[in-house]
Structure 1
Amino acid sequence: MRPAEDGVVMGEEIARDHFAEADFLKFREHLARETALLRKIQSEGGLSDEGPVIGLELEAWLIDHNFFPAPHNQSFLDRLSGESVVAELSRFNIEINTPIEEIAGEGLARMHDHLSETMRRCASNANEDVDTVIAIGTLPTLREGDLSIDMMTPSNRYAALNQEAMRRRGGAPISLEIDSCRGGVGFSATYQNVMAEAATTSLQLHLQLADEKMVAAYNASLILSAPLVAISANAPFLFGKPLWHETRIPIFEQALAQPTGLQRVTLGTGYAKDHLVELFEENLSDYPVLLPMCDDSKDDAEFACIKLHNGTLWRWVRPLIGHSSDGKPHIRIEQRVMPAGPSVLDMMANAALYFGAVEEMSRYIDTAVAELPFETMQVNFYAAARDGLNAHIDWFGKSAVRPVASVLEDLIPLAESGLRKLGMAERLIDKYLSTVSMRLESRQNGANWQLEQFDRHGDFHRLTADYLANQRSGLPVHEWPN
């Protein structure tokens, strides 16, 4: 399971950036054939039962000595070399990948160490361009001019993605309309390309379980999206305006919005029912192809077309296809709702909360789904993105709307039980979940720290400088001074 094999953001470069109608027809034929093969393999019990296995991707920013975005990812990557760090959509973004791990024992600690060391190596390498690396949901010093098409990473893949996404809009501009959770003036602007997506960076967690457990885990991942966003929120500003606690959510959705049909950035259309294969069947039937690149040399069982098409659909909880060490294909979950930052410890604590809570909630998922309709889960998600730890959400088991902080208080012991069942080392359970507990107790996540710091000093450059210094200290955000 390697994240790089699955998405448009991560995949191999494509050969060209313009397509004819025949390319789309040919691709859809390949896609339909692969989708039918996937269903056949699943119905015959041929998907892998390996797991629990976990992975992680972290998007980050390159910034210069003035704390502005630094569009140098090409020279940065040329020097760095290796497969664990790759380019993102903009010239000032990169993506870091960790090796896959078993969650039992010390797996999460090894992932933690790898991510910390890679961040240090990236910062050292960036210094050669007088830059550095920062992990944060949206950069407080980002300027509107930084999102110009000139800032796109030179790649046929990104050029084609932009071209086809805009063609599907009939050339109509993309509008961002985001209100402020603090009242007052929100943000409104239009764009002629998809570069607004580059204003957002995230932490993406991968979870592979035995095939029979994946539907329950997927639905639990959806239900958990709201409290996960609330506890991890770290993107309260865009272009100098305080907007949502996790402004990354509406930016990403609106930057790739389509005028009709299902949206390409979405929570989906409903809970999974019988098997996650149904999501790939929905991809085939309901989503136009954006990148119709077929490689006739690849066997259908590699699912190259499914991966490419799925990589142009950014479900907040996304199914991914890969191949396990037993040679069998698998479907795993990519949980995409959490932002980058604030510290590596905070991000690993978020991961532990997610993995443990999914394991435990999956055991009574039918009750949870019955009591929390999909539409209510969606309302919860956006309420948490807008208001962070101040949000109120519906929850199963109790009829009244509850503070999301109260839900999180219940989730921490639930996650503890889940992590024990998964076999995580006891010291790691305590280390990571106590970090979440103290963040919750202090009500200081990344968004609240940023908002309070700016209220105190009124300077986005100082905010970014202080944030970077605290991130480098390794301390969790609840210990950061304002």
Structure 2
Amino acid sequence: MGQDVEAREFTGEDRARYRAKVRRNLDVLAAMLGEQDFSVPDPHVGIEIEFNLVDAAGDPALRNSETLDAIATDDFQTELGQFNVEINVPPSPVAGRGLAEMADRMTADLNAAQDKAQGVGTGLTMIGILPTLGPEHLTREAISANPRYHLLSDQILTARGEDIHIVINGVERLRTTIDTIIAEAACTSTQLHLQVEPDDFAPTWNAAQAIAGVQIAVGANSPFFLGKRLWHETRIALFEQATDTRTAELKAQGVRPRVWFGERWVTSVFDLFEENSRYFPALLPIVDEEDPVAEVEAGRVPVLPELRLHNGTIWRWNRPIYDVVDGKPHLRVENRLLPAGPTVKDTVANAALFYGLVTALTEQERPVWSQLPFKTAEQGFHEAAIAGIEADAFWPGVGTVPVRELVLTHLLPLAHVGLERRGVDRAVIDEYLQIIERRCVTGRNGSTWMIDQFDRLHARGADVQDSMRALTRRYVDHMHTGEPVHSWPVE
């Protein structure tokens, strides 16, 4: 969930003051990176998961306010759409049984929330895009009541000067126009956080970029949108277009998109924050009273609110995070590209693959990103979103091979080594990486299961809408068993 803001209008003076304050924040951050203690004696990881709300028929339930009131815990929070909620799993060490304990906590929280949500006629679903979403759910009235979301939608539409055009060419072709950013709410994700020290940030971010295509391929869970079969991970194309502030003319001029893979490997976290300031105008130019220079001179750690708010309106697939925790400055890589679900076990398996791989890759003598053109990594990311687990991928020293082969032969052993180096128990490593292995052996992830299940239902004579509803109900039932998706039957 983003930072809360109040509804308001902005002037040219607001924007000028905000730009100056972001740059002042940036100068202070540059000095802090060389002078402040960002050390991480006990690295923590965290997970955020966005959920869709459904009713008994499998249709979207636009009742997140009533659902959150029923759940009544701060772990669950609002999201952009009234059919969304989000859970924030408290950060914890990854060593030992940390990942298994996070899975236990998520399962307990999900089960408790589901029981309470059913009391108001809703259910929680971990899925990249809900198959039953229709045009009637993508209206301004479907945006959550939090003023931040309406304000952000208005600012993006104002920056564009026209409605948002969604065009996705997949197995079928989708063309639609929407007059808000509500289509972003269709894209429910898993966000993985990894705390790092300044010297470790750039290699960790570069490693995360290098494996982004692999993550998407094995974790794809979003094949349908508005009744059409599109990409295996349609979220990528949809999110990139749903928050795009550029007109066709600005795209032709090469103006950078706010949902961004990036354009180069980096040498410091500063590179990314500096790009934010240089390339992207403010969407929410709200100036805080904090004077970051005065805070540092007084021996305090500045919050840098303008820098953080600006960063929150630039949706990199791997985002830099600056925060202050217990009075100490703190850096994280936020991996934002994975879809939600299909289950808690699948989610933690995806996390294990990510944490293990970035750890192993950052410790290699010759980094993979020194051998991999950045454009090749970006292209592989989008190709994996289109083809999913059957995609091909280029890897230095290996060449272009099927993703399933690359993962089984080369990357799973690396992830195993990385998790061992982080002190993860062997049994935990085996349990969660085996889930990734079985996906690759069977060719079954969330997207392939949904495609096969829909085809089976549709072949029996059900129309598209009824097939999508039946698919969603079956998905929810399997999700709540907790068994990973590679073991789900097609019925």
Q: TM-score, normalised by structure 2?
A: 0.92
Residue pairs, 1:72-83, within 5 angstroms: 72-83=63-74
| 8 Å CA contact retained: 2:50, 2:340 | yes
Q: Quote the Cα distance in structure 2 between the aligned partners of 1:36 and 1:45.
A: 14
Q: Cα offset for 1:199? A: 1.1
Q: CA deviation at 1:35?
A: 1.1
Aligned to 1:224: 211
Query: Does residue 1:284 correspond to 2:274, yes or no?
Result: no
Matched with 1:462 is: 470
Write the letter of the residue equivalent to 2:286: M
* Kept after mapping to 2: 8 A contact 1:17/1:159: no
Determine which of 150, 159, 167 is the counterpart of 1:177.
Answer: 167
- Structure 2 CA distance for partners of 1:462 and 1:428, relative to 1, 3 Å: same
The residue number in structure 2 matching 1:432 is 432
Q: Return the alpha-carbon distance in structure 2 between the equivalents of residues 461 and 76 of structure 1.
A: 21
Sequence identity percentage: 35
Match of 2:14 among 1, 5, 23: 23
- Tell me the residue number matched to 2:239: 252
| Counterpart-to-counterpart distance in 2, 1:465 and 1:278 | 45
Q: Which moved more, 1:289-298 or 1:373-382?
A: 289-298
Aligned residues of 1:229 and 1:246 also touching (Cα < 8 A): yes
Q: Which amino acid aligns with 1:404?
A: V
Aligned residue in 2 for 1:6: none
Flag structure 2 segments of 5+ consecutive residues without an equivalent. Answer: 296-301, 459-466
* Contact 1:54-1:101 within 8 A present in 2 as well: yes
Q: Which runs of 5+ in 1 are unaligned?
A: 1-8
CA distance in 2, matches of 1:465, 1:77: 22
Cα distance, 1:374 vs structure 2:
0.5
Instruction: Check whether the contact 2:50–2:87 (CA below 8 A) recurs between aligned residues.
Output: yes
> Would the aligned equivalents of 1:227 and 1:384 in 2 still touch at CA under 8 Å?
yes
Q: Partner amino acid for 1:248?
A: R
Per the alignment, residue 116 of structure 2 pairs with 125
Give the Å deviation of 1:16: 2.2
Distance change >3 Å, CA 93–CA 254, structure 1 → 2: same
1:209 aligns with 2:196: yes
Q: CA deviation at 1:297?
A: 5.2
Q: 1:269 corresponds to which residue?
A: 263
After superposition, give the CA deviation of every residue in 1:268-323 in whole Å (9 maximum; x if it has no partner): 121112x1112111111111001112221575611111111111111000001112
* Range moving further from structure 2, 415-424 or 458-467: 458-467
- Displacement, 1:405? 1.2
Q: How does 1:32-431 map to 2 (within 5 A)?
A: 32-170=23-161, 172-180=162-170, 182=171, 185-259=172-246, 260=250, 261-273=255-267, 275-296=268-289, 301-325=302-326, 327-364=327-364, 366-398=366-398, 400-409=399-408, 410-431=410-431
SS in 1 for 2:176: strand
Aligned residues of 2:47 and 2:89 also touching (Cα < 8 A): yes
Query: Which SS does the other structure have where 2:265 is aligned?
Result: coil
**Aligned with 1:129: secondary structure?**
coil
Aligned residues: 466
Q: Given residue 52 of structure 1, which amino acid in structure 2 is its aligned partner?
A: P
CA deviation string 1:201-240 (max 9, x = no partner): 0010000123321111110000110001000000000111
- Evaluate the alpha carbon distance shift between residue 101 and residue 298 of structure 1 in structure 2; reply closer, same or farther with a 3 A threshold: farther
SS in 2 for 1:23: helix
- Residues 103-138 of structure 1, C-alpha deviations (whole Å, 9 max, x = no match): 111111121111111211221121122111101000
Q: Which runs of 4+ in 1 moved over 3 A?
A: 48-51, 297-300
> What does residue 4 of structure 1 align with?
none
Asked whether the 8 Å contact 2:197–2:331 carries over to 1, the reply is: no
Asked if the contact 1:51/1:208 (under 8 Å) is kept, the reply is: no
**Secondary structure of the structure 2 residue equivalent to 1:364:** coil
Aligned residues: CA RMSD: 1.4
SS of aligned partner of 2:364? helix
Secondary structure (helix, strand or coil) at the match of 1:116 reads: helix
Residues 327-354 of structure 1, C-alpha deviation per residue, up to 9 Å, x if partnerless? 3212210001110011110110110011
Partner amino acid for 1:405? R
TM (normalized to structure 1)? Answer: 0.94
Shift of 1:367: 3.5
